Homo-oligomer: A and B are copies of this chain.
Amino acid sequence: MKHRVVVVGAGFAGLQLVQGLKGAGCDITLIDQRNHHLFQPLLYQVATTLLATSEIAWPIRRVMRSREDVTTLLATVTGVDRVAREVVLDSGTRIPFDTLVVATGARHAYFGNDHWEADAPGLKTLEDATTIRRRLLLAFERAELTDDEAEREAQLTFAVVGAGATGVELAGIIAELAHRILPREFRHIDTHRARVLLIEAGPRILPAFREDLADYATRALERRGVEVLTGVPVTDCTAEGIMLGDKPIPSRTIIWAAGVQASPASQWLDAEADRAGRVKVTDTLALPDDPAIFVLGDTANVESGGRQVPGIAPAAKQQGKYAARLIRSRLDGKAARAPFHYRHMGDLATIGQNAAIIDFGRFQMKGLLAWWVWGIAHIYFLIGGRSRLMVSISWLWSYLSGQNSARLITQKETLRR
């Protein structure tokens, strides 16, 4: 019988692992609760009307269509039976495995304030992105309709919480939307007056980057009209607004980009997790007491060279690649492989049109050239020629015409909150 590999999660780690097992003669089952793989690094551009949903998501089945050794299942995992060696689905069906790979990613975390989520949604799925897009666009519509000056100001105040790369990128585009793209379209309000707040509890924005790049980013954001607030703790989020320390700021649109919590994989596996819910794995990315169960990507707490491996796409891909090679070595009966070693390729973030920062460690880039390098790198990493072409056209069109292409308000939500 063929060696049965069950992979839960078709993100960067899961897909890379399946790709690495091509031709290995395994019987692979790839399970995800969504029908699409999502290119999360560009999700913020869907939330801010630059890209359409279908430009950064691909049906997992289609990606796997020529892999006869892979069975794709759209299903929700509810647990893992480690004794019987089976994954349990919500339908009750059990999928047996010889090797299990769990790479189920993370959700946003509210540090014990989960009730903030309704008023301060995070950004992890396509639905999150269309929810944020709808709220952003509705805020301008509501401001246009109201005669109440205080309400208008609250509708035109946008608060982004957390100044990592995602928070910076969101704030930058929202400011461009308000100050560059929308002004000509409204008759009662001046969208130039919209306030965009980028709120960070830590001492500075972009802690993963060198300080001079973060300084450049702060200046670039401020030039675009973003108010950058550092060392400011968020103490409450409600439908009325956001509380910074003991200062209330009326705001109808809050976006949460401040923290992540791993998926419940540690509970399924009854395995030790860190505070963020990430499963602690060995240097071969497996459970300490079970070398045939791997945990990869944002779901895993991995160290390399004495440092925590960051929760970014290149790290997840490297882990998927490593685990695939390890599984192949075992099947071939070869000696144990060297432990996982993470190679950091660099950090990059856009601030807005013509401005990005790239920190390669050895050297840095910023400004226009960095922005082009950022764009070309991201197009390169998309799946398939069609997405590359479509995203390129959307970006070029937006660049040349000053118009974003995906400004649709869809799904029911009453106009009046």
Q: Give Cα A90–Cα B416 distance, bound, in whole angstroms.
A: 9
| Inter-subunit contact B408/A187 (CB<8 Å) | no
| Inter-subunit contact A35/B73 (CB<8 Å) | no
Give the contacting residue for A386; candidates B65, B74, B127, B397; CB below 8 A. Answer: B397
Give the contacting residue for A127; candidates B55, B403, B405, B412; CB below 8 A. Answer: B412
**In the complex, which residues of chain B have a beta carbon less than 8 angstroms from the beta carbon of A54?**
52, 405-406, 408
Q: Give Cα A93–Cα B74 distance, bound, in whole angstroms.
A: 47
| Inter-subunit contact B185/A64 (CB<8 Å) | yes
**In the complex, which residues of chain B have a beta carbon less than 8 angstroms from the beta carbon of A405?**
54, 386, 390
Q: In residues 126-163 of chain A, which contact B (Cβ within 8 Å)?
A: 126-127, 130, 137-138, 141, 144-145
Q: Give Cα A52–Cα B52 distance, bound, in whole angstroms.
A: 8
**In the complex, which residues of chain B have a beta carbon less than 8 angstroms from the beta carbon of A415?**
74-76, 90
Contact A73 to B390, CB < 8 A, known contacts A127-B410, A407-B59: no
**In the complex, which residues of chain B have a beta carbon less than 8 angstroms from the beta carbon of A52?**
52-55
- Asked if A72 is at the interface (CB within 8 A of a chain B CB), the reply is yes
**In the complex, which residues of chain B have a beta carbon less than 8 angstroms from the beta carbon of A141?**
35, 74
| Inter-subunit contact A34/B93 (CB<8 Å) | no
Give the contacting residue for A411; candidates B59, B75, B144, B411; CB below 8 A. Answer: B411
Contact A35 to B76, CB < 8 A, known contacts A57-B408, A127-B410: no
Task: Kindly provide the distance from the CB of A128 to the nearest chain B CB, expressed in whole angstroms.
Answer: 11
- Asked if A184 is at the interface (CB within 8 A of a chain B CB), the reply is yes
**In the complex, which residues of chain B have a beta carbon less than 8 angstroms from the beta carbon of A74?**
138, 141, 144-145, 409, 415
**In the complex, which residues of chain B have a beta carbon less than 8 angstroms from the beta carbon of A401?**
386
**In the complex, which residues of chain B have a beta carbon less than 8 angstroms from the beta carbon of A35?**
137, 141, 407-409
**In the complex, which residues of chain B have a beta carbon less than 8 angstroms from the beta carbon of A416?**
90-91
**In the complex, which residues of chain B have a beta carbon less than 8 angstroms from the beta carbon of A90?**
415-416
| Inter-subunit contact B145/A75 (CB<8 Å) | yes
Q: Give Cα A393–Cα B55 distance, bound, in whole angstroms.
A: 13
Task: Return the chain B residue nearest A409 by Cβ.
Answer: B35
